[in-house]
Chain A
Amino acid sequence: MDDLTEMLKGTLEGCVLEIIGGEETYGYAITRQLNELGFGDVVEGTVYTILLRLERNKLVQVTKRPSEQGPPRKFYALNAAGRRELATFWAKWEYVTTRIEKLKEGGR
């Protein structure tokens, strides 16, 4: 599905949080995982800016590790604040989706 960018905007940060919450990982792997999920529009730059924001908001713990090729890679893991943020994201998601579903079914 193309042109999901606008719709994804508000939720991508939560998706990245969820992926990091699974296991410690790095930017490229996160992008790949999102692509495999079917979000082909997501490029590494997008994920990079999200990771920057998460780092700035102190939701992740960052570890630099040397990689086989190129400069050292930054690995990201959720800290306590990040896990709280993730729980909040899912709560909001639940709220929005149930209401939109209701709307779709013609309920008020």
Chain B
Amino acid sequence: MNIWETITGSDLTREYKAFDGRAQALPADHRAAWEQIKAELLPYGDFTGRNLMPILDGALGLLEETAAQGQGVDEVLGDDVAGFCAALAGGEGSRTYRDRWREQLNKNVAKKLGRLGG
């Protein structure tokens, strides 16, 4: 990853396109599940969403594998896509927007307090 890609996230756009290209080859119900997974995982993204890439790749791989085996999407994900996504993202140690906000808030408060005390 070069600096240009880091700043613009152009590598991510490319990767995203590649994902969607792969998703096009999926049967309709798997493709719909893919859209849902993307939407569910979004809140788990860090600032650039870079942390989601390997997770998305794995989820797409699972959909591809199961589609090739002729499994229906309900056999793969059941009725709890949100739970599936939480489990996917949770263990990854992925920091969410909320974590970042919290951290920032803590830091600001600490700074203010420090100034008051000093």
Q: Which of A45, A67, A69 contacts B77 (CB 8 A)?
A: A45
A-B Cβ contacts below 8 A, count: 51
CB–CB A45/B69 < 8 A: no
The 8 A CB mask of B69-89 against A (1 = contact, 0 = none) is 101001111100000100110
CB–CB A71/B64 < 8 A: yes
Instruction: Give the secondary structure class of A's interface.
Output: helix
Using a Cβ–Cβ cut-off of 8 Å, how many residues does chain B contribute to the interface with A? 20
The 8 A CB mask of A53-71 against B (1 = contact, 0 = none) is 1001000000000010111
Q: Which of B72-118 contact A (CB under 8 A)?
A: 74-78, 84, 87-88, 91-92
A44 and B67 in contact, given A52-B91, A71-B61 (Cβ under 8 angstroms) = no
Report the minimum CB–CB distance from B64 to chain A (whole Å): 5
CB–CB B68/A44 < 8 A: no
CB–CB A43/B76 < 8 A: yes
Binding site for B on A (CB under 8 A): 27-28, 41, 43-46, 48-49, 52-53, 56, 67, 69-71, 73
